[in-house]
Structures are given as structure tokens and as C-alpha cells.
Amino acid sequence: MTQWEKLRQLPAVYRQQLHELYDRDALPMDVRHYLSAWIEKQEWQRAARDHDLAMVLFQVLLENLDIQHSRFVQEESFLLQHNIRRYKQNFQRYLDDPCGLASTILWFLEKEKEILQSADLAEQVEAAPQSSYWHILDKTHPVAHNDTSMQKHIQFVPTQKGIGVFIIYEYHHYLFSLVFLNSQFSLFLFELIDLLVKKELVEWQRRQQKACIGAPDNVCLDHLEKWYVLSLHALLCLFQVREFLSKLDELVGKVSYDNDPIKAQKPALQRRADTLLKDLLKSSFVVETQPSMPQGKGSLVLRTNVQFSVKTRLLVKFVEQNHIMKVNVSVDRYRRFNVLGTKSKALNMAESQSGGMVADFRHLVSDHVFRNSLNLISLSVTEELHVINFDTVFDLKGLSVELQASSLPVVIISNSSQQQSAWASVLWFNMLSLDTKDVKFFANCPAATWPQFGEVLSWQFLSATKRGLNDDQLEMIALRLFGKQRDYDNCKVAWSKFSKENSPDTFWVWFDGILVMVKTYLEQLWRDGLIMGFVSKGKEKSLLKKKQRGTFLLRFSESVIGGITFSWVEYDMIGEPSIKTVQPFTKVDLNQIPFHEIIRNFQILESDNIPENPLLYLYPNTPKDEAFGKYYSDKTGDNSPYIKYIKTKLMFVSKE
């Protein structure tokens, strides 16, 4: 009888252990079941060290899966066909590490043997008389096997006939389980902690930090929550371990012997169990959506006396904790402002679409910012950072753990005129800082490299208009910042050059003025790629002078904040090109006439005073009406609703 067949015939309690063992994707139970005979015949221990043998077994495994798939095709087992095909695809990851596959399969086979040994021991103890128990114990347990005098050192207190055998068996059962759990901690739970807390969670937090400043990163918690749901099995196991250790305390009083491994191992195991539980629970409490105002430019900029919202989430679900755990809001220890409103809410499943446990604060308000007189470092209001903390207590089955989640640093403003500078601070911090609690970041603010900076600038357009900046546009911006360079990758931008309060001509003021104009008046034109935008005058000239008469392009003004202009090429009598440019259009103009109508109706006076529209082809060679036609109003000429403005206010005229 194969090992797998023996396992399938075990009592329900041991079959449950088998199901728990295979409740993971490393070796699917379907594969173990259908290939059981072949799997048990292979030399996995040698293959774990021998690459060539491991590769052979890897290839044969895939062939066996193909054979099994063909069998399911003939049997018309649609679901099993799908599963086997998926398992084969998953195994492909071992192509470069076949020894890893061999080690994995070997590990599962060894765990199966441990389950069989536990079941066999229980069966023999129940069937054997007390006099033969010591032979069983000596044969099956390594501790007893190495201590031939163990029997005479064992003491127990019989209260009735036969109770001694029961206590000895139960004591040995827990002793055996203790060794097993010790190995499980090292093989699975600590790896899970490392994966969740040190990798998956950290990566999600960084993605969230970048998403707050416009990055297209996915910050949905569903994937991470699935990891924590899987870890929930470990959490429940750890609660059982705590109960198990409590049971051992009772048994130690009834059964003990010299060099008792329970007394030696229990404290360490207790610390391990508590540490794992606390680490998992503490890491599972997060801020799902960062503080933001309904009408704000973005998250993390709050205005005094204006409501803001923020949502916290516990990534593990305990139904018995629904509406029990209260989340309280507080501010950082420097306490430069107060939070008003409903500052305590219960974690509950009703407010979450995924059924997770959330506390959604929708009506918080920050009051006046108190400047800290003890802070000797001179920072502007928009450079002062504040952290909002969320505290709760997890209390279940005798375990009490204090949990805390913190927001990313927020900037508190008192006037809308500070919005632009505040958002600049949020951009700079989240672009450069990995320490999300560094509220003194701007006291010693680092510079940004051009690759970092250029990427964040592109995110601003991407998040506002769904179209980022291309390489040519970024190159023009780099040229404006650093002058002509062979390579901009090593160039750096200082915070003071990017944005500093009371400096009206900073780079951010210019860039943000363009961004606001595009978002407000030109979003569709920008999204459709009709606006070249960031192009220097020199580059503009080199592009247009090679094109046919009337070719034009649209670019942002380098001197007028929030301005856009167009330039076109003309040719003189001897064929020399000449580049014409109009004064920039700003929000004053665009509030009255859509930019595409300005382009449509723009005219100049030729030498014989005949009005003519010089804009014929959008660079590189698209006819104007083909490029902009879909935006035009239905009425043209004198019937155009914009003609009166063009005649009286926006007739930009150039004479040759």
C-alpha cells in the first residue's frame, strides 16, 4: 500500500491535518493524488542535491501531467482539465531551479510521514497494555529513545485505575506536537512574516505613497488582504498553540521527569507564538485611504476648519471583533493642531465593499495650527509636516495587542493661497522620503535627481489629464532647469529651486500654472496629443523651418505663467523660412473662447489688408481642420457664437 493510500484511510482528525498540509500551492493535492505512485518511487532526497537528476524528474513530472490531462480530456472532465493545465503552468517556475522542486516535494513527503507516525502511535497506545507502553515510547520518540532511564524518572499522580496510562500518553502527545510545532514555526510562519511584513506590506506602502502624488500604481488592498487571509490560518493555529501551552502547564504538574524538554522549550515557544501573533496583527492595521479634502488638489493637504476624510482597515477578519474594536484619532506628539469631529469609530464590515474591517472617518476637521515655539528651525507653514495616528486594541482569547496605523505626513494650510506651495511639499516629501514619519524632513531637505523628478512631473499630467509627458517634453524641461547637457541623469534639483514660499518665479509656480491651465481649458486637446507643449524656442525653430508653409505647433509659454501660444512657418520671396509667434493666451482669453476656436478663426492681415488664417497644418503635417474639426462648434463664419469676441477682443494681428 502506498503512503498516500495509507493517509487516505486515516481517521478524520488526521485527514484534516492532511488537508491543512496541502492548503497551499507549492504541491497541489490533485497532483499528489493522481501521481502518487510515481512520486513515491523517485529519489527526491538525491535530486535535491543533484541538478541533473532533478531536471530529469522535473521533465518527467510535466510529461505525467500531460498524460493525466489527456485522460481528463477523454473523460470530458472539464474542471480537472483546467486544474491540471494550471498546475503545469505553475510548475514552470522551477525550470531554472529543479532542485528547489525536489526539495519541496521531499518536504511534503516527510510531513506526511509525521502524520502517519502520530496516527500509528495513538493506535498502538490505545491497543497496548501499560507494561508495553514504554517499548512503544522508546521506539517512536527520539527523546525517550536517547534516555533509557526515562521510565524511572517519570512521575504521575493516578487518581483512578488506568489514569496513569492516559496522562503518560497525553503528555507524550503534546511533547511530540511541541517538536512538530517548533519545526513548523521555522519552516512556515517566520517565512510568512518576512513575506508579508518585510516585503509585500512595505511595497504596498511605497506604492500608496507614490499614488498619492499621481503615480499610476495599483494600491488596491485586495491582493494583500488575500495574503493576510491565508495567514489567518496561521493566526488561528497560534491561538491554538497558546491554549496548547496552557494545557502543558497543567500536565507538567502531573507528569515530569529530569531534563524535561517541555520545561526547556516552552518559554521559547511561548515567546515565538506571542511574537508572531503580535507582528502579524500590528502589521495588518493600515491606513487604506490617506487624509483628503473633498475639493482639494490631492490628498495630504488639509485646510483648517474644512472637513476631511480618511479610512483605516484591519486586513484580518475576526467576525467576533466586528463593531468591537474602537479606533481613536490623535495627532503627532508635537501637537501643532487639533482634530475635531467624530474621533472614535468602530472597525466594522458594513462600510467595506470587500467585507474587510474598516473604520471610515468622513467628517474630521483640523483647527488652527499652533506653531511650536520650541522649534528653532525656520520652516514655512507649508513645510511643516504632521502625522495623524489611529489607535485600537485587539483583545481575543486572553491576548491583548495595541495596534497603531499612521497617515503619511500632511500639510495644514489656513488659506487657499497656500495650496500650491503645500502640494509642492507633499510632492517633494513622497518623492524622496521612505521614512513616512519624518516630520522634520524639510529641516534638512535632500535634492532630487532628474530621473526621479522628471517621473514625478509626468505623473502630475498623467493623474490630471490621463496623459503623461514624453521624452521630448521632459528633455525641454531638463534644458530649462540645467541648460544644455549631454546627459541629465546625474543632474539634481534643489528644493529651493523647485518651490520656496514667497518666491513667485519658482519652477513649480511655472509648471503648476501650465498644469492648471491644461486641466481647466485644454484637457481633451492635450489628451489627444495635439499640444506639443514643452518645447523650447530653439527646438521650435528647428522643427518648423523644415516644414511646408502654414505648419504650426502649440507650445506653453516660458515667460507667462499659465500661458499657451502657437507658432507657424512662413517663407519669403527667396524661400527663406520665418517663424511667427503670437503673444500667449491665458485663462482670461480661454475663459471667453475655447482654444480650438481661436485656432480655427485666427487671422492676420496680409500686405493688401486681406485677412487670412496662416494656420494650415498641425505639426508635422496634419491639416488643421482634420486635427481640430471634431471640437469645432456647428456654426461658422458670422454665425459663430465666438465671432464677436474675436472681432472685438481677441483679434491678434500681425503685419509682415
Confidence of residue 224 (pLDDT cuts 50, 70, 90): confident
Identify the residue with better confidence: 170 or 1. Answer: 1
Whether pTM > 0.85 for this model: the answer is no
The long-range contacts involving 556-565, CB below 8 angstroms and separated by at least 24 positions, are 556/514, 557/584, 558/480, 558/510, 559/584, 560/584, 560/586, 561/509, 561/510, 561/513, 562/513, 562/514, 562/516, 562/517, 562/586, 562/587, 563/513, 563/517, 564/514, 564/517, 564/522, 564/531, 564/595
Closest CA to 15 of 112, 92, 85: 112
Average pLDDT over residues 302-308: 88
pLDDT in tens, 535-581: 988 899 999 998 999 999 999 999 899 999 999 999 888 888 899 99
Architecture of domain 167-283: Up-down Bundle (1.20)
Domain spans, the chain: 3-125, 167-283, 284-414, 527-655
Q: Which CATH class is domain 527-655?
A: alpha beta
Task: Answer left, alpha or beta for residue 491, where phi above 0 means left and psi between -120 and 50 means alpha.
Answer: beta
- Give the C-alpha separation, 350 to 422, whole Å: 35
Q: One-letter amino acid identity for 386?
A: H
Task: Concatenate the DSSP letters of all residues of 222-290 into one string.
Answer: HHHHHHHHHHHHHHHHHHHHHHHHHHHHHHHTT-B-TT-HHHHHHHHHHHHHHHHHHHHHHHTEEEEEE
CATH superfamily name and code, 284-414: STAT transcription factor, DNA-binding domain (2.60.40.630)
3-state secondary structure of 396: strand
pLDDT over threshold 50, residue 133: no
Confidence of residue 156 (pLDDT cuts 50, 70, 90): very low
- Give the C-alpha separation, 623 to 603, whole Å: 17
Q: Which CATH class is domain 3-125?
A: mainly alpha
Confidence of residue 128 (pLDDT cuts 50, 70, 90): very low
pLDDT in tens, 356-408: 789 888 888 877 655 554 454 578 888 999 999 999 998 887 778 999 999 99
The long-range contacts involving 139-142, CB below 8 angstroms and separated by at least 24 positions, are 141/172, 141/175, 141/176
pLDDT in tens, 575-622: 888 999 999 999 999 998 999 999 998 888 765 667 788 999 999 999
Q: Which is it for strands 285-292 and 611-612: parallel, antiparallel or unpaired? A: unpaired
pLDDT in tens, 460-504: 999 999 999 999 999 999 999 999 998 999 999 999 889 875 556
pLDDT over threshold 80, residue 235: no
Confidence of residue 142 (pLDDT cuts 50, 70, 90): very low
pLDDT at 304: 87
Q: One-letter amino acid identity for 32?
A: R
pLDDT over threshold 60, residue 162: no
